[in-house]
Amino acid sequence: MLFSEIVSKLSDNIQAHSLTPNPEVNPEITGVAAIDEATNGTITYVEGAKFASLVNSTDASALILPLDEKLHTQATERGIAWLATPEPRLLFAQAIALFYQPYQPTPEIHPSAVIDPTAKIGNDVYIGAHVVISPGAEIGNGVIIHPNVVIYPDAKIGDRTTLHANCTIHERTQIGADCVIHSGAVIGAEGFGFVPTRTGWLKMEQSGYTVLEDGVEIGCNSAVDRPAVGETRIGKNTKIDNLVQIGHGCQIGSGCAIAGQAGMAGGVKVGNRVILAGQSGIANQVTIGDGAIASAQTGIHSDVAPGEIVSGSPAIPHKLYLKVSAVYSRLPDIYQTFKQLQRQLRKN
């Protein structure tokens, strides 16, 4: 694909490009790459002036650059085609899609699939080998169900949703349209509900529902539990990484991003556009406000206000956490100073 074709296809988000002053620099682009691994024939991106030195060393044939004239000049002087946008990483994601599309199987039902006669199957559905679809389940149009998926009774899968191999959808789970459930994920399994008695733990049956709204993605080996009553709900377009635990009765808003090994106990309420970094943990019944951010390994034990950034365990405001972290490495010296002061006071 010529560079000019890429410019044409991505023109909605491009504010400038090198073809205007240098139309003769129009290389053939055969793929995409990271800037430090780019080779001749690839296109890559630079997010800001911090990476300016890589523009002088990359072997890429084309660059996606921010709106920085110095970077444009650097690329031009090296004879590298470039295009400029306010959001280089976003445009790079769109460029990847020009060269790669995920495997899309042809609609069919494998003869080894076990489908209950009461299940409803939509049009243009792919059902792979050894899939099990239980009584009362409903599968929408254009759904892709890869091998070994198990769908329990009365579950509902929305149009164009993809269920990757070996994921499990438990009873009465409701999954919206255009969702992606990755391998090994378990949606709608029993929440961790046990009541202590004098003779041991009494199991509280988990009779509630799990609801995933449209556009939700769940990573590999993550779990979203159903509650004893009511529902666990994940809002529209929320993205959840691998190895994430969503406890029973949690309410997660739309447009959130939850990174790997994060976990939340039951009854947590997460607002819209919240970001939870890796290994962050949220205690029972905590509320996280819209637009809040928790950095990696944050332990959240109390409510977080909308827009607040928190770090540490227990969580504190991020700016305070940075100050505390700066002091942490100096603690041995501070302690020695303290001991010297103690000795001096005893002498006096």
- In this prediction, residue 43 carries a pLDDT of 97
pLDDT value at 248 more than 90: yes
Whether the predicted model's global pTM rises above the 0.85 cut: yes
pLDDT digits (tens, 9 = 90+) for 46-67: 987 778 889 999 999 999 999 9
Report the percent of the chain where pLDDT is more than 90: 91
HEC string of the chain equals CEHHHHHHHCHHHCCEECCCCCCCCCCECCEECCCCCCCCCEEEECCCHHHHHHHCCCCCCEEEECCCHHHHHHHHHCCCEEEECCCHHHHHHHHHHHHCCCCCCCCEECCCCEECCCCEECCCCEECCCCEECCCCEECCCCEECCCCEECCCCEECCCCEECCCCEECCCCEECCCCEECCCCEEEEECCCEEEECCEEEECCCCCEEEECCCCEECCCCEEEECCCCEEEECCCCEECCCCEECCCCEECCCCEECCCCEECCCCEECCCCEECCCCEECCCCEECCCCEECCCCEECCCECCCCEEECCCCEEHHHHHHHHHHHCCHHHHHHHHHHHHHHHHHC
pLDDT in tens, 251-278: 999 999 999 999 999 999 999 999 999 9
**Closest by Cα among 289, 181, 291 to 242:** 181
pLDDT at position 52, please?
Answer: 81
Question: Tens digit of pLDDT for each residue in 114-150?
Answer: 999 999 999 999 999 999 999 999 999 999 999 999 9
How high is the pLDDT of residue 345? 87
Residue 49: what pLDDT? 76
Pick from 257-261, 321-325, 329-333 the range whose average pLDDT is largest: 257-261
Confidence of residue 79 (pLDDT cuts 50, 70, 90): very high
Q: pLDDT tens, 5-16?
A: 999 999 998 999
Catalytic annotation, pick one of 17, 164, 248, 318: 248
Instruction: Report the candidate in 55, 21, 23, 59 with the shortest Cα–Cα distance to residue 39.
Output: 59
Mean pLDDT of the residues in the chain: 96
Confidence of residue 72 (pLDDT cuts 50, 70, 90): very high
Q: Look up 248 and say whether it is catalytic.
A: yes
pLDDT (average), residues 185-201: 96
In the predicted structure, residue 348 carries a pLDDT above the cut 80: no
